[in-house]
Amino acid sequence: MNYPSLPRLALLVCTLTAPLHAADGFAPEPGFTALFNGHDLTGWHHQDGPALGGKTDPGDGRYSIHDSALVGNDAKAAHGRVLLWTTKAFTGNFILRLEFRAGEKTDGGLFFNKTQLQCGDYSNYAYKSCKAYRPLDWNAIEVTVQDGVARATCNGELLTTTLKITDPGPLALEADKGAISYRRIRIKMLP
């Protein structure tokens, strides 16, 4: 009988299990720019704080990075909401795409400077009528901002067409109550 050598067997095991522990290899669609690289907090900061580039933990224990996702940690979120802001402001027209996964009764959000779009357990909070929402699973959000008004969908289902972005600026992710994760955050600027 012909058995693989131990080094070849180890290489095979590592190859088969590597995707479980490595970055997911996601690349933004043509024309989109990644706002979160899946590895560290380059491009993000606490409000009125220094840029967190190169760090994998913003220092407050409420967010961490796991499996290419920015994770709002449930135990720490109970101490109050935490927002992570982009270091860059987005004041024009754009399309923002991201995915989020929320625990039961989780309340989180996406901020367009001072305007919030809820991201969380839609079966318990805002957008309860959203049939496309997948509890405890990844959900795709797309927000198109045109002339100060946002149109948002969750997994292709319309959430709103009338969210007014009153004071455009940086974007933020919120972890308020419960566990929430964000990934594949990317933006495409429009004319």
- Residues facing 115 on adjacent strands: 112
| Beta strand pairing call for 180-190 and 69-72 | antiparallel
Place of tokens 């987005």: 90
Residue 74: per-residue pLDDT? 63
CA-to-CA distance for 45 and 50, rounded, in angstroms?
6
Asked if 98 and 138 count as a contact pair (C-beta separation under 8 A), the reply is no
Structure tokens at 21: 């522990």
Structure tokens at 189: 């600027």
CA torsion through residues 140, 118, 69, 168, sign: positive
Residue 75: per-residue pLDDT? 54
What does each of the 191 residues of the chain score in pLDDT, given as a tens digit?
444 443 433 333 333 333 333 356 899 999 999 999 999 999 999 877 889 988 888 777 778 899 999 998 765 544 556 789 999 999 999 999 999 999 999 889 999 999 999 999 999 888 999 999 999 999 999 999 999 999 999 999 999 999 999 888 999 999 888 889 999 999 999 99
Measuring CA to CA, which residue among 69, 19, 21 is closest to residue 41? Answer: 69
- Cα 48 to Cα 55, 65, 78, 91, 163: the distances in Å are 17, 22, 22, 19, 26
Q: What 3-state DSSP class applies to 126?
A: coil
- Cα 98 to Cα 2, 50, 107, 175, 186: the distances in Å are 48, 24, 17, 15, 6
Residue 168: per-residue pLDDT? 87
CA-to-CA distance for 175 and 109, rounded, in angstroms?
7
Top CATH class, 23-190: mainly beta
**Domain ranges in the chain?**
23-190
Residue 14: per-residue pLDDT? 35
pTM: 0.83
Label each residue of 155-180 as H, E or C.
Answer: CCEEEEEEEECCCCEEEEEEEEECCE
